[in-house]
Amino acid sequence: MNAVEIKPGIYWVGAIDWAIRDFHGYITPDGTTYNNYLVMDEEITLIDTVKLDFAETTIKNISNITDPSAIKNIIINHIENDHVTSLGRIMELTPDATIYITEKGRKGLERFFDISSWNISTVKTGDTLNIGKRNLLFIETAMLHWPDSMMTYIKEDRILVSQDGFGQHLASASRFDDEFIESESEHKLDEAVIDYYANILMPFGNLIKSRIGEIQDLGIEIEIIAPDHGIIWRKNTAGIIKRYLDMANGAADMRVAIIYDTMWQSTGIMTTPLVQGIRDEGVDCSVIKLRATPASVAIKEFWRSRGVLIGTPTLNNKMFPSVAGFLHQLAGLRPKNRIAGAFGSYGWGGGAVKEAYESLKAMKLEVFEPGVESLYRPSPEDEGRCYDFGRAFAREVKEYHSRFKQ
C-alpha cells in the first residue's frame, strides 16, 4: 500500500504484514501493521520506523512523497525490534539526520547499531521540537510498555503518535477506525483492542491511568491517535481512551472462562456440567482447551471474563504442563479484579487442583474454594457436584461483578 495522507502534509508510510501469525509468541490470526509517519514540513520528520523485513517497503512509501535523503529528524518512540530495526537502513540514506529519543532509548539503540557517528538528541517529557510550521511535543511513557517508550504529539494537527499504546494486531487495507468498521465491524476492532491490551498491557493498568491523566493534564486536544500497529483512531479517539481507562479500572464482562487441559478426557468431561451450572445462573461462559488454543487467545478470554475456572488433571503430583504454563504466563501479566476457581481429575494422591489454587492465590486473585475434583472418570455424582460448583461459582461471579461500576 502506498503512503496515505492522514492530515495535510502528514503521511502514514508504514507496512502491512498480512502474513504474520506468530508475533513473539502472541498469535496474530489477522496479521498486523507497522505504522510510521512522515511529516512534510520545513524540516522533514519521520516518526518511527518499521520491522527490518519491511525496511524497503517504508523507504518506497517515503519515496512516494520525498527523497529519503531529505529527512532531517527521526523520532524513535520505542526501541523494540518491530519499530527500530530498519533505522540503520534509513540512516544509510540520510546519515546527517538527527534522532530524537529518550535517554533509555538511546542506551538500548547502542545494542542494535553502531551509533557513534549518528546525531542523537535525548528528550524528556515536555520537550518540544520546532520543525517549521509545526511543533512536536514529547511525552515519556516509561513502562508502557518498555522503559524507553514515549509518545509524540504533533501540536498544530492535534495528532498523538501513541506508539504501541492504543494499537491492535490487525492487517487491513483500511487505515482508519471508521473505514475498518465500515469494511469489517466494530466488534472485530474491539476484540483486537482487548486482545492487545490483555497480552501486552495487562500488567500496567495503574500506569495507564496515571499516564492518561498526565496527558489530559497537559491540556492537549487529541483529534487523531496514531498508534504503531493497526488502525488509526480518528472517529472515536475519546472512545478508545475511555476503553483503556475502563480496562485499567478492571472492566470485564460478567462471564466465565473455563480454561483447562486433559490427558484422557476426565477433566474435559467435567466442563459439561460446569457450563450447565453456570448457564443456569444466567451467566455466559466459554471453554478453552489449552493445547487446542494459542496461549494469547486464552489470555484474552481470561481478560474479558469476570470469572475463570482452571481445570487440570494431576500428572506426577503436579498440574498438567500446559495449565502450569498458562498460569505462569498469566502471573507475569499481574491480573487483577477477577475471581477464580479450579477443578480437575486425579488417580491417587492428586495435587494439581491444590497447586492451581496456590498459583491463583499467589497472583492475589479472589478465589472461590474448595474446587471440585473427580477420581478418574467423573461418576454421575461427580457430575452433579460439578453442576452445583458451576452454579455456586456463577453466583459468586455475579456478586463480585456487582462491585465494579461498568
Active site residues: 24, 78, 80, 82, 145, 164, 196, 229
- Indicate the residue among 228 and 396 with the shorter CB distance to Fe ion: 228
Q: Within positions 303 to 342, which residues make up the interface with ligand FMN, using CB under 6 A?
A: 313-317
- Asked whether position 116 contacts ligand FMN by CB under 6 A, the answer is no
CA distance 109 to 127: 20
Three cell numbers written together for 139: 511525552
CA distance 268 to 378: 10
CA distance 80 to 82: 6
Residue in the block written with cell 478426557 = 265
Report the nearest approach of ligand FMN to the CB of residue 247 (Å).
Answer: 33
> Which of Fe ion, ligand FMN, none sits in contact with 82, Cβ below 5 to 8 A by type?
Fe ion
Three cell numbers written together for 94: 540520510
| Strand locations in 155-230 (E) | 159-163, 224-227
CA distance 35 to 50: 7
Q: Which of 30, 41, 48, 80 binds Fe ion (CB under 5 A)?
A: 80
Per-residue DSSP letter, 378: P
> Which of ligand FMN, Fe ion, none sits in contact with 164, Cβ below 5 to 8 A by type?
Fe ion
- Indicate the residue among 80 and 140 with the shorter CB distance to Fe ion: 80
The pair phi, psi for residue 60, each rounded to 5°, is -65, -45
CA 38 vs. chain centroid, Å, equals: 25
Report the nearest approach of Fe ion to the CB of residue 290 (Å).
Answer: 26
> Which of ligand FMN, Fe ion, none sits in contact with 347, Cβ below 5 to 8 A by type?
ligand FMN
- Indicate the residue among 21 and 377 with the shorter CB distance to ligand FMN: 377
Q: Which of 265, 286, 379, 402 binds ligand FMN (CB under 6 A)?
A: 265
Residues with Cβ within 8 Å of 51's Cβ and at least 6 positions away in sequence, in order, are 15, 17, 34, 81, 82, 83, 85, 86
End-to-end CA distance of the chain: 40
- Asked whether position 195 contacts Fe ion by CB under 5 A, the answer is no
Instruction: Tell me the number of residues near ligand FMN by CB under 6 A.
Output: 18
The amino acid occupying position 23 is F
| Strand locations in 125-205 (E) | 128-130, 135-140, 150-154, 159-163
- Indicate the residue among 167 and 390 with the shorter CB distance to Fe ion: 167
Three cell numbers written together for 41: 514540513
- Indicate the residue among 219 and 348 with the shorter CB distance to ligand FMN: 348
Three cell numbers written together for 13: 508510510
Residue in the block written with cell 512516494 = 64
- Asked whether position 346 contacts ligand FMN by CB under 6 A, the answer is yes
- Indicate the residue among 116 and 316 with the shorter CB distance to ligand FMN: 316
Q: Which of 92, 242, 286, 376 binds ligand FMN (CB under 6 A)?
A: 376
Q: Which of 264, 282, 369, 403 binds ligand FMN (CB under 6 A)?
A: 264
Report the nearest approach of Fe ion to the CB of residue 146 (Å).
Answer: 6
Q: Which of 8, 111, 187, 349 binds ligand FMN (CB under 6 A)?
A: 349
Three cell numbers written together for 171: 492487517
Report the nearest approach of Fe ion to the CB of residue 77 (Å).
Answer: 10
The pair phi, psi for residue 301, each rounded to 5°, is -65, -40
- Indicate the residue among 263 and 362 with the shorter CB distance to ligand FMN: 263
CA distance 4 to 226: 13
Report the nearest approach of ligand FMN to the CB of residue 170 (Å).
Answer: 36
Q: Within positions 115 to 174, which residues make up the interface with Fe ion, using CB under 5 A?
A: 164
Contacts with Fe ion by CB under 5 A lie at 80, 82, 164
**What residues make contact with ligand FMN under the rule CB under 6 A?**
262-267, 313-317, 345-350, 376
